Amino acid sequence: MRLGVTMPIEDAMSAPQLVRLAQTAEACGVDTVLCGEVAGPEVMSLLGAIAASTERIRLASGIIASYTRTPTLTAMGFATLSSLAPGRVVAGIGASSPIVVGRWHGLEFASPYRRTKEFVEALRLCLDGAKVDYDGDHVAVHDFRLAIDPELRVPIWLAAMNPQMLRLAGALADGVFLTWCRPEEIAAKLDDVHAGARAAGRDPSEIEVVCSFWGYSGPLVDQAVDRLRRVVLSYATVPTHAAAFVEAFPSLQEATEAWNAGDRRAALSLVEESVVHDLCAVSADGSRTADFARRYVDAGVDLPVVLAIGAGHGDHDGPFSTVRDVAGQLGLSAVETSPSS
């Protein structure tokens, strides 16, 4: 069985700590390590440090926004990583959210479907190395040719939540990246992905299915549940993400109204512990995280990915115990690496 691990980039861990966590994941037999990009580490530099410090583990962005970089700069970054770690690099792309794109970067979060479609199309052309002339409504690239050899083809994953973006992943991407999606919801998501693939004349079986979920293993279970209650609320109240939470979060509308009114305490009180356990994997020994991973595989996911967190921002042991415990529960094969790694 394969397992991915996402770096806890919102846990105030330093770059050296995150590199050590990636090395731990590799030593435990984890297949892929992913780095998102929110308000912590910059993804290309962190993945570069991990690439130089590991030997076999696959490296992916999970995800970077289709607004905050141009396709050309993104291609240059992933080609650089791929030349450093040939065959180990995946470009994970997504629309992100109005908060990240609009409030933090000061960019207009307009036409996310169209923008992301054009971005992925242009990125694929740039990564493939030919001279690129691409004209879209939101993305344009003219007379660009990549001047560094990525050595091997860099696959592209597309993050998708709604049916339109899921079908786009099936039509354009090498993989679909799902998140905040319970195992019982996977089949319906894949129906859309496969429909998009067939409409584009592609074989649906060739599209890698990746699904990320939040997980914690360690002694601070109650604190982890409290933290994840806040995490669920913060994501569920984002307009572009809310639809993914409707079934698992019965009080979502009421919580959103309280949140938007500025009553954070009332909104948080509406996130029942059962909602956290339905969406996230929390246990003292990694058993629940391993169970989530198995359920995802049974539902059709090729690569379940645990976002290994601490119980709070000061708990930097939690991500390490989570990786070790879930790898042990799943019986992953430990991998020996050279002393230099």
Instruction: Say whether both 298 and 277 belong to one domain.
Output: no
Helix axes 287-299, 186-199, angle to 10 degrees: 40
| pLDDT tens per residue across span 182-209 | 999 999 999 999 999 999 999 999 999 9
Cα–Cα distance, 185 to 163 (Å, whole number): 12
Give the model's pLDDT for residue 335. 63
Place of tokens 């105030």: 12
Nearest to 189 by CA among 169, 205, 213: 169
Instruction: Say whether both 126 and 252 belong to one domain.
Output: no
Q: How many domains does the chain have?
A: 2
| pLDDT tens per residue across span 105-114 | 999 999 999 9
SS3 135: strand
Instruction: Say whether both 127 and 50 belong to one domain.
Output: yes
Give the model's pLDDT for residue 334. 72
Residue 233, domain member (yes or no):
yes
Residue 211, domain member (yes or no):
yes
Residue 337, domain member (yes or no):
no
Give the model's pLDDT for residue 279. 96
Residue 254, domain member (yes or no):
yes
Residue 341, domain member (yes or no):
no
Instruction: Say whether both 290 and 270 belong to one domain.
Output: no
Looking only at the bridges linking them, the beta strands covering 140-144 and 132-135 are antiparallel
Instruction: Say whether both 294 and 272 belong to one domain.
Output: no
Residue 40, domain member (yes or no):
yes
CATH classification at residue 168: 3.20.20.30
Instruction: Say whether both 304 and 257 belong to one domain.
Output: no
Instruction: Say whether both 248 and 189 belong to one domain.
Output: no
Instruction: Say whether both 144 and 234 belong to one domain.
Output: no
The answer to whether 175 and 94 are in contact (CB under 8 A) is no
For 1-35, letters b (16+ CB in 10 Å) and e give ebbbbbbbbebebeeebbbbbbbbbbbbbbbbbbb
Give the model's pLDDT for residue 336. 52
Domain that holds residue 230: 220-281
Domain boundary among 246, 262, 281: 281
Instruction: Say whether both 119 and 180 belong to one domain.
Output: yes
Residue 339, domain member (yes or no):
no
Instruction: Say whether both 90 and 18 belong to one domain.
Output: yes
Instruction: Say whether both 151 and 79 belong to one domain.
Output: yes
Helix axes 71-84, 112-127, angle to 10 degrees: 50
How far the first Cα of the chain sits from its last, in Å, is 24
Contacts of 205 (CB under 8 A, 6+ apart): none
Residue at 102: amino acid letter: G
Q: Taking the chain (341 residues) in consecutive chunks of 10 residues, what is each chunk's mean pLDDT? A: 96 96 98 95 97 98 96 98 98 94 93 97 97 97 97 98 97 98 96 98 98 98 96 91 90 93 94 95 97 98 98 93 98 63 33
Cα–Cα distance, 131 to 175 (Å, whole number): 25
Place of tokens 């976002």: 307
Residue 237, domain member (yes or no):
yes
Instruction: Say whether both 227 and 319 belong to one domain.
Output: no
Q: Is the Cα dihedral 285, 288, 291, 296 positive or negative?
A: negative
- pTM score, whole prediction: 0.94
Cα–Cα distance, 12 to 249 (Å, whole number): 28
